[in-house]
């Protein structure tokens, strides 16, 4: 019971502190003259993935590779199958050509790179540095691309949101540091509760990381995707999921590997990364516009994604995956 309470309280505090951290960081960056587009791409982008990053980093430090890697890859599976599925059922998502030409191929290549690096069933520091180097190159390229578009709609949207959330520098700094401290504390509570619960029920910490922890740390992406879709901002909803998956695969796993080299359980390669890869490929099929029509993730495709997620989770939790 104590473990369950720790998981619930840890998740609630984690999500609340992540929101405070993002608001404080964005306000501080605005006070120091950072352009709104860069605040959106860097501060808010890092902030929504802060739960996965902190949880995986602490798990690696405490010697729990199952939660460190399960959280990252489980979040990716959750983002595509559960979050995109739910979002499409609420409101079908229109897909623009840029997603098919640039973002989806990059995600597919990054997934293939990850499989290649982990084939020896080890996440060494060299592997981790390669992942972080690729992430840095992609971020630099995205920032360069973004700064060339002076009238970018995302920049205008971020500027409006920053104006609405304006706060003094002192208050913004307070929320930044308090949010960061509470992120670390809540992550420690969540990881402890998850590991303890796994041991008590005889379930591997990998399965707990792939399910409970992954869903909990993906809640910010769920909220922002649903809100963006209801406002008709389909690019932001889909881009949020794809961007989060890139961040998890490269930065979250990379940071965990730098902190402590990890042994990779074989089921991650042949079950979880395979599932993640198949879901990524399925997005090409779903998002491609046949016979001249614009690509869309309709309610039917959303339902199929949810069914896939339910089947995967059932396989994990019924004990089939952990005899």
Using pLDDT thresholds of 50, 70 and 90, give the confidence band for residue 152: very low
Q: Compute the distance between CA of residue 131 and CA of residue 45 in angstroms, rounded to an integer.
A: 18
- Whether 33 is in a domain gets the answer yes
What is the pLDDT at residue 236?
A: 67
Judged against a pLDDT cut of 90, whether residue 26 lies above it is answered with no
pLDDT band for position 291 (cuts 50, 70, 90) = low
**Helical segments of 119-168, H only:** 125-148, 153-164
* Stretch 80-87: mean pLDDT: 91
Asked, for residue 178, whether it belongs to a domain, the answer is yes
Q: How many domains does the chain have?
A: 1
**Which neighbouring-strand residues pair with 191?**
none
In a domain, 228, yes or no: yes
The pLDDT confidence band at residue 113, using thresholds 50, 70 and 90, is: very high
> Residue 38 pLDDT > 60, yes or no?
no
Q: Say how many residues make up the chain.
A: 323
Domain that residue 298 falls in:
2-317
What value does the mean pLDDT take over residues 208-223?
A: 81
| 30: three-class secondary structure by DSSP | helix
**Helix (H) / strand (E) containing 93:** strand 93-95
Using DSSP bridges, classify how beta strands 122-123 and 262-263 pair: parallel, antiparallel or unpaired: antiparallel
Q: Provide the mean pLDDT of the chain.
A: 80
pLDDT at 69: 93
Mean pLDDT of 42-63: 77
Which pLDDT score, from 0 to 100, does residue 283 have? 85
- List pLDDT tens digits, range 119-151: 999 999 999 999 999 999 988 887 776 666 544
The pLDDT > 70 percentage for the chain reads 79
pLDDT of 310 over the 90 cut:
yes
| pLDDT bucket at 277, cuts 50 / 70 / 90 | very high
Q: Does 223 map to a domain?
A: yes
Q: Nearest Cα to 93, choosing from 229, 185, 206? A: 229
Which of 9-18, 124-133, 142-151, 171-180 has maximum average pLDDT?
A: 124-133
Contact 193, 6 (CB under 8 A): yes
pLDDT at 151: 43
For residue 267, the domain's CATH number is 1.20.1420.30
Angle, helices 65-77 vs 273-287, to 10°: value is 10
Q: In this predicted structure, which of 219-233, 241-255, 259-273, 307-321 has the lowest mean pLDDT?
A: 219-233
In a domain, 323, yes or no: no
CB 83 within 8 Å of CB 248? no
What CA–CA distance (Å, rounded) separates 2 from 83? 29
Residue 177 is encoded by which pair of tokens?
């540091």
Residue 322 lies in a domain: no
Would the pTM count as exceeding 0.85? no
Tokens matching residue 10: 């840890």
How large is the average pLDDT for residues 250-275? 92
Summarised one tens digit per residue, pLDDT across range 94-109 is: 776 566 667 788 889 9
Contact 247, 45 (CB under 8 A): yes
């Amino acid at each position: 019971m104590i473990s369950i309470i720790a998981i619930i309280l840890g998740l609630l505090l984690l999500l609340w502190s992540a929101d405070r951290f993002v608001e404080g960081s964005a306000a501080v960056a605005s006070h120091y003259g950072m352009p709104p587009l860069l605040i959106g791409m860097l501060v808010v982008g890092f902030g929504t993935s802060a739960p996965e990053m902190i949880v995986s980093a602490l798990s690696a430090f405490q010697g729990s590779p199952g939660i460190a890697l399960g959280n990252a890859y489980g979040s990716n599976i959750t983002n595509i199958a559960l979050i995109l599925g739910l979002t499409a059922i609420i409101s079908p998502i229109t897909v623009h050509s840029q997603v098919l030409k640039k973002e989806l191929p990059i995600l597919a290549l990054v997934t293939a790179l990850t499989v290649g690096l982990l084939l020896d069933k080890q996440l060494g520091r060299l592997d981790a540095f390669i992942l972080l180097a690729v992430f840095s190159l992609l971020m630099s390229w995205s920032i360069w691309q973004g700064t060339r578009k002076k009238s970018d709609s995302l920049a205008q949207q971020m500027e409006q949101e920053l104006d609405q959330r304006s706060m003094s520098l002192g208050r913004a700094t307070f929320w930044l540091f308090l949010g960061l401290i509470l992120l670390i504390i809540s992550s420690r509570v969540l990881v402890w509760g998850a590991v303890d619960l796994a041991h008590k029920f005889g379930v591997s910490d990998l399965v707990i990381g792939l399910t409970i922890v992954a869903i909990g740390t993906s809640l910010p992406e769920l909220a922002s995707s649903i809100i963006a879709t209801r406002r008709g901002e389909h690019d932001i909803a889909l881009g949020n999921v794809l961007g989060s998956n890139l961040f998890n695969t490269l930065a979250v796993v990379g940071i965990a590997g730098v902190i402590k080299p990890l042994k990779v359980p074989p089921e991650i390669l042949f079950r979880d990364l395979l599932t993640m890869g198949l879901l990524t490929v399925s997005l090409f099929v779903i998002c491609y516009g046949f016979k001249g029509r614009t690509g869309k993730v309709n309610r039917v495709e959303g339902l199929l994604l949810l069914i896939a997620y339910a089947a995967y989770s059932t396989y994990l939790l019924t004990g089939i995956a952990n005899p």
